[in-house]
């Protein structure tokens, strides 16, 4: 079977008038109306091979016939609508009803608006940052989705957004402060020493007063901002090292939910750089220089009040991280095992490990990182410690100039839990199945089946939620309401358990 290609199998099955059928309709998730002209793609989920695609007719219906028994992932897309995201597989086989699949395509939402100044003049080239409140790896996080610059009318537009909660952060510089470098002392201060404070939707100056803009599928929302010129100062940055190197300066301020708002950046060779139009507040200045081989960093905290300030930047060799990972069970590590460092903004640094478990990363920006493995699903990071850095839970603080040595164990999981989710005695498709405390979750397939593989031996809690898209499955408090229907499972090394789950309904009023 593995020697044959899928297309040949398909043809063979069709010729024999055998095979299974996957069919259904594509609907607009907001209006419930059929969507014509949508492309539906079917790809084997449990083995390789090419997929097939079909285009819906006026009735929104699609059909694939002559399919061998197996698992398929099914997706739909159409211009003007967002793609469907059906994560569980469609399972064909004896007794499986796969002829009434519904793929729902949400219409995109839009946020647009205008940024003006106190005189009502458009603020062109203002930075508008869009943050989305989404479940990422089981936690609700506020993540930067996109950044736009306003046009000459002060207008901006974020299109093709999925429904959800969004924050907007607006910053800018009054255009007339461009005279600051030439005329800083001879023009009125209101002209050269003005700035716009950061604004948060709904036009608030204080991040604590920021509110999410809640968008339904297909909704077009407007969000206008008024930026008021306020007195601002010039920050003079001195960096006397590496005068011949180009230095990158980035000024950020504390924003929403631990995110840093990018305020300004600049590039300069030499020992002096100026940021002007900096409004009072607390800032973080990050400096970076590289000669192509080595990188140096510095971070400075700045407190900006009513007067110009000077900052001395001392560059340090970029921190390095090296160490050894040992397989807990002895022996060598899988070739593809990778160590990941992820910062608060979601930027990822990674390094592959040799099969001997040694790794080394140079030129890491100092900061706070979440440490994890990737590349091999069935390996977990265990018992790690970091000499020269500071560990706090899953997080590692890497200070400037440090050479951090990390030692860790890699635990290979060989256990398995599989089963079927039911509701009212019927297999339930599309339920969220959560495995705690492993922070893992999958969606049940069309026949209600689910599977977790590569599990280390441990005690687990397993539960299913019928409509769990918004569930913070890595947050123990969020799982609390569902624990009544949860099952406790002990997995021995290499053990396998079959667990029937009954899905809990979604609780009202949770976010």
Partner 1 sequence: MRFAPAMRYLLFAAAGALLAVTALAGEQEFCVAGTVLNGVTGEVLRRAAVTLPESAVLTDAAGAFRFCQLPAGTYSANAEKPGFAEAGSRVVVGPSRENLVLRLQPLSAITGKVSDGAAEPLQSVLIQLLSIRIAEGRRHVRVAFTAVTDDRGEYRLARIPPGRYYLRAAGWAAAPSDRDPRESFAPAYYGGAPTLASASLVTIEPGHDIQADLDVSLRPAYPIQGEIAGFSPLLPAQVELLGADREPSAAPVALDAATGKFRIDGVTVGSYILRATQGDGAARRRGELPLQVDAALNGIALPLYGGVTLRGNVRMAADFDRAESSSPACAIKISAMDAWSPDEPALEASTEPSGEFELQNVPPGRYRLRMECAGGYLSALHLGDVDLLADGELSIPPGLAPAPVDAVLSADGGTLQVTASAEGEPGPGWLLLLPASGSELHTRLARLIAKYTFSGIAPGDYQVYAWSGSPEAFEYADPDARQAWAARAASVHIGGGDRQSIAVRVAGDKP
Query: In this complex, which beta carbon is closest to partner 1, that of residue 221 or of residue 326?
Result: 221
CA distances from 181 to 176, 238, 274, 277, 329 (A): 11, 16, 9, 11, 64
Q: How far is the CB of 316 from partner 1 (least distance, A)?
A: 33
Is residue 484 classed as helix, strand or coil in its secondary structure? helix
Residues touching partner 1: how many (CB under 8 A)?
Answer: 25
User: In this chain, which stretch among 72-80, 388-396, 399-407, 412-420 interacts with partner 1, using CB under 8 A?
Assistant: 72-80
Residues 157-186 that bind partner 1 (CB under 8 A): 157, 159-160, 175-176, 179, 183, 185-186
Q: What is the rounded (10 degree) CA torsion for 93, 94, 96, 100? A: 80
What is the C-alpha separation between 282 and 88, in angstroms, rounded?
Answer: 46
Q: How far is the CB of 482 from partner 1 (least distance, A)?
A: 36
When asked if residue 220 is in the footprint of partner 1 (CB under 8 A), the reply is no
Q: How far is the CB of 319 from partner 1 (least distance, A)?
A: 31
Query: In this complex, which beta carbon is closest to partner 1, that of residue 156 or of residue 283?
Result: 156
Q: How far is the CB of 64 from partner 1 (least distance, A)?
A: 19
Q: Which of 133, 208, 129 is nearest to 169 (CA)?
A: 129
Q: How far is the CB of 44 from partner 1 (least distance, A)?
A: 22
Query: In this complex, which beta carbon is closest to partner 1, that of residue 178 or of residue 439?
Result: 178
Residue 458 backbone dihedrals phi, psi, to 5 degrees: -175, 175
When asked if residue 153 is in the footprint of partner 1 (CB under 8 A), the reply is yes
Residues 1-40 that bind partner 1 (CB under 8 A): none
Query: In this complex, which beta carbon is closest to partner 1, that of residue 175 or of residue 467?
Result: 175
Positive or negative torsion for Cα 473, 479, 482, 486: positive
Q: Report the residue from 79, 244, 301, 509 that binds partner 1 according to the rule CB under 8 A.
A: 79
Q: Which residues of 120-159 are buried (b: 16+ CB within 10 A; e: fewer)?
A: eebbeebbbbbbbbbbeebebbbbbbeeeebeeebbbebe
What is the C-alpha separation between 159 and 191, in angstroms, rounded?
Answer: 35
Q: Report the residue from 151, 236, 328, 378 that binds partner 1 according to the rule CB under 8 A.
A: 151
CA end-to-end span of the chain, whole Å? Answer: 46
Q: List the structure tokens of 194.
A: 């003005």
User: In this chain, which stretch among 153-161, 258-266, 294-302, 463-471 interacts with partner 1, using CB under 8 A?
Assistant: 153-161
Taking CB under 8 A as the rule, which mask of x and - marks residues 102-141 in contact with partner 1?
------x-x--------x-x--x-----------------
Residue 11 backbone dihedrals phi, psi, to 5 degrees: -65, -45
Query: In this complex, which beta carbon is closest to partner 1, that of residue 121 or of residue 356?
Result: 121
Query: In this complex, which beta carbon is closest to partner 1, that of residue 218 or of residue 334?
Result: 218
Residues 185-214 that bind partner 1 (CB under 8 A): 185-188, 190-192
> What order do you get walking across the sheet with 20-28 strand by strand?
61-67, 20-28, 101-105
Q: How far is the CB of 276 from partner 1 (least distance, A)?
A: 14
Residues 263-292 that bind partner 1 (CB under 8 A): none
DSSP conformation class of 182: H
What is the C-alpha separation between 381 and 324, in angstroms, rounded?
Answer: 12
101 by Cβ neighbours in 10 Å (0-12 / 13-18 / 19+) ranks as buried
Q: Which of 435, 433, 472, 432 is nearest to 456 (CA)?
A: 435
How long, in residues, is the chain? 511
Q: How far is the CB of 156 from partner 1 (least distance, A)?
A: 11
Residues 408-437 that bind partner 1 (CB under 8 A): none
Q: Report the residue from 77, 226, 257, 475 that binds partner 1 according to the rule CB under 8 A.
A: 77
Query: In this complex, which beta carbon is closest to partner 1, that of residue 26 or of residue 408?
Result: 26
Q: How far is the CB of 236 from partner 1 (least distance, A)?
A: 21
389 by Cβ neighbours in 10 Å (0-12 / 13-18 / 19+) ranks as buried
Q: Report the residue from 152, 392, 424, 484 that binds partner 1 according to the rule CB under 8 A.
A: 152
What is the C-alpha separation between 488 and 443, in angstroms, rounded?
Answer: 19
Query: In this complex, which beta carbon is closest to partner 1, that of residue 220 or of residue 469?
Result: 220
Q: How far is the CB of 179 from partner 1 (least distance, A)?
A: 5
Q: List the structure tokens of 456.
A: 């280390």
Taking CB under 8 A as the rule, which mask of x and - marks residues 249-268 in contact with partner 1?
--------------------
When asked if residue 54 is in the footprint of partner 1 (CB under 8 A), the reply is no
What is the C-alpha separation between 324 and 351, in angstroms, rounded?
Answer: 12
User: In this chain, which stretch among 11-19, 155-163, 404-412, 480-488 interacts with partner 1, using CB under 8 A?
Assistant: 155-163
Residues that bind partner 1 (CB under 8 A): 77, 79-80, 108, 110, 119, 121, 124, 151-153, 157, 159-160, 175-176, 179, 183, 185-188, 190-192
């Amino acid at each position: 079977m593995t020697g044959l290609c899928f297309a040949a199998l398909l043809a063979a099955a069709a010729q024999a008038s055998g095979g299974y059928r996957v069919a259904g309709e594509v609907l607009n998730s907001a209006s419930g109306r059929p969507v014509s002209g949508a492309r539906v793609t079917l790809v084997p989920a449990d083995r390789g091979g090419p997929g097939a695609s079909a285009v819906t007719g006026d009735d929104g219906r699609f059909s694939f016939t002559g399919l061998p028994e197996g698992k398929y992932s099914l997706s739909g897309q159409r211009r003007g609508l967002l793609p469907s995201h059906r994560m569980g597989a469609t399972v064909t086989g004896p007794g499986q009803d796969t002829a009434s699949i519904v793929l729902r395509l949400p219409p995109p939402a839009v946020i647009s608006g205008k940024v003006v100044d106190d005189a009502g003049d458009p603020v062109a080239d203002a930075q508008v940052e869009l943050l989305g409140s989404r479940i990422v790896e089981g936690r609700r996080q506020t993540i930067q989705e996109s950044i736009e610059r306003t046009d000459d009318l002060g207008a901006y537009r974020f299109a093709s957004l999925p429904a959800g909660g969004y924050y907007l952060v607006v910053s800018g510089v009054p255009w007339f402060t461009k005279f600051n470098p030439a005329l800083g002392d001879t023009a009125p201060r209101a002209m050269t020493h003005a700035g716009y404070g950061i604004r948060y939707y709904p036009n608030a100056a204080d991040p604590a007063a920021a509110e999410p803009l809640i968008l339904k599928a297909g909704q077009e929302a407007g969000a206008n901002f008024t930026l008021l010129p306020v007195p601002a100062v010039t920050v003079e940055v001195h960096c006397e090292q590496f005068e011949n190197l180009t230095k990158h300066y980035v000024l950020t301020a504390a924003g929403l939910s631990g995110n840093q708002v990018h305020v300004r950046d600049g590039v300069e060779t030499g020992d002096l750089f100026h940021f002007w139009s900096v409004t009072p507040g607390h800032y973080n200045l990050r400096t970076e220089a590289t000669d192509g081989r080595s990188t140096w960093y510095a971070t400075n905290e700045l407190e900006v009040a009513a007067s110009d300030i000077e900052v001395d930047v001392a560059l340090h060799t970029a921190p390095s991280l090296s160490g050894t990972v040992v397989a807990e069970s002895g022996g060598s590590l899988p070739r593809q095992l990778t160590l990941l460092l992820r910062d608060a903004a979601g930027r990822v640094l990674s390094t592959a490990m040799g099969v001997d478990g040694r790794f080394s990363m140079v030129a890491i920006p100092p900061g706070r990182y979440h440490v994890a493995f990737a590349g091999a699903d069935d390996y977990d990071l265990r018992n790690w410690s970091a000499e020269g850095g500071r560990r706090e839970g899953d997080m590692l603080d890497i200070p400037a100039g440090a050479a951090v040595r990390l030692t860790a164990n890699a635990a290979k999981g060989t256990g398995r839990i599989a089963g079927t989710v039911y509701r009212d005695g019927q297999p339930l498709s599309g339920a969220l199945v959560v495995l705690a405390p492993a922070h893992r979750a999958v969606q049940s397939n069309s026949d209600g089946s689910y599977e977790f593989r590569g599990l280390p031996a441990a005690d687990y809690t397993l539960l299913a939620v019928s409509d769990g898209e918004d569930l913070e499955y890595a947050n123990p408090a969020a799982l609390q309401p569902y624990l009544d229907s949860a099952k406790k499972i002990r997995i021995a090394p290499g053990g396998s358990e079959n667990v029937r789950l009954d899905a809990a309904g979604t609780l009202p009023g949770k976010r």
